[in-house]
A = this chain, B = another copy of it.
Amino acid sequence: MSLAYPLSNHRRQRPAGVLTDALERLGTRMTYDRNEEIYAQDDEVQLLFQVVRGVVRTSRVTSDGRRQVGDFYYPGDLFGLEPGPLHRFGAEALADCEVLVVRRGAVRAFAGDVELDRAILAATNQEMERLQDHVVMLGRRSARERVGAFLMAVAQRQSGACNLPMGRQDMADYLGLTIETVSRMLTQLQGEAIVEFPSTRSFQIRKPMVLEELAA
């Protein structure tokens, strides 16, 4: 079950399944309900996580209540890797989900395991790439382009009809827009028959070339 990173590109792949074995031995499985917090913003970084089932979102809320979503994580993805001692973004379950939780100490004790080291390095690098792309997107692209790129990214690894695991508000907070603007752009893209929404949570790309162009 290989779902896509938002804004993923060709370079972006998840660590191989072999990793799961190592983590599985080290960690414990936890389940979270929809919107349940997995860790809070400003919590100490003590654990490493891997999505088993469902989707996880990271987000940061500013002192005056504005929210920025950092990213969405799908089955197989590692998350909770952060540069400092504190989580600068919190993590919440988007939908009910299952997560493998590993103590950092256990990971360190296991250091030297080539696969695991490599997987963590790869995940960190991915994280950084994503952030770089995110900066360019938020700094220099229009609402239409952001929404187009987002759909493109979600579709990247799904064939045919795509599922949208997150609601409009989450898309908006990821894209640095309001929910209304996201909605309008979706309607607009659908009006131009670039993309089609059979329901609010699923879509299909109708004009890949046009969308590609938009997302470029």
Residues of A within 8 A of B (CB): 11, 60, 62-63, 66-68, 70, 82-84, 88-89, 124-129, 131-132, 134-136, 138-141, 173, 175-176, 216
Contacts and interface: CB of A to CB of B under 8 A. Distances in A.
Contacts of A127: 83, 128
Nearest to A133: B88
B84 A129 contact: yes
A83 to B, nearest CB: 4
10 contacts: A60-B132, A63-B216, A68-B139, A68-B140, A83-B127, A83-B128, A128-B131, A138-B139, A139-B175, A139-B176
A11 B140 contact: no
B138 A83 contact: no
A126 B89 CA distance: 15
